[in-house]
Amino acid sequence: MRVKALILAVFVAATATAAPIRHTTQANLKQKRTAAHHTTDGIDPERATQIQTALIKAGYLSGTPSGNWDADSIAAMQKLQNDQGWQTKIVPDARALIFLGLGPHPDTPTTPPTPQQ
């Protein structure tokens, strides 16, 4: 009986001084990243500006790029996607970015260099 009481006392003392357990979920991580570096839809302001600039050049958006992925940006992207016969999305997909000339690495050449002999 004393052993059980001693074990229980040690357990209570150990857990009472331990830091509270915090569970990190994917949603919590995404929320933290979004708040720190992204607009509300998860698009980095610099990338949003690039996309908005391309949408303006393509005639789907008017005005000046703001860097905020707002309702006008979403509508312009959805119009572009619809005009191409693609599924419309709130956030630009790879196909739309490539269409706008904004693939994953716009500075990287799309054709491999020819080997030199």
Q: How many domains does the chain have?
A: 1
CA distance linking residue 88 with residue 107, whole number of Å? 27
| pLDDT at 103 (0 to 100) | 79
* Domain coverage including residue 85: 44-99
| pLDDT at 110 (0 to 100) | 53
Does 36 score more than 50 pLDDT? no
Answer whether residue 1 is part of any domain. Answer: no
Higher pLDDT, 1 or 40: 1
Q: Which candidate, 104, 41, 85, places its Cα nearest to that of 67? A: 41
Answer whether residue 18 is part of any domain. Answer: no
Does 15 score more than 60 pLDDT? no
Answer whether residue 90 is part of any domain. Answer: yes
Say which range, 1-15, 16-30, 88-102, has the weakest mean pLDDT: 16-30
CA distance linking residue 55 with residue 31, whole number of Å? 27
Answer whether residue 35 is part of any domain. Answer: no
Higher pLDDT, 38 or 51: 51
Answer whether residue 49 is part of any domain. Answer: yes
What's the whole-number mean pLDDT along residues 93-115?
72
| pLDDT at 13 (0 to 100) | 61
Answer whether residue 82 is part of any domain. Answer: yes
Answer whether residue 33 is part of any domain. Answer: no
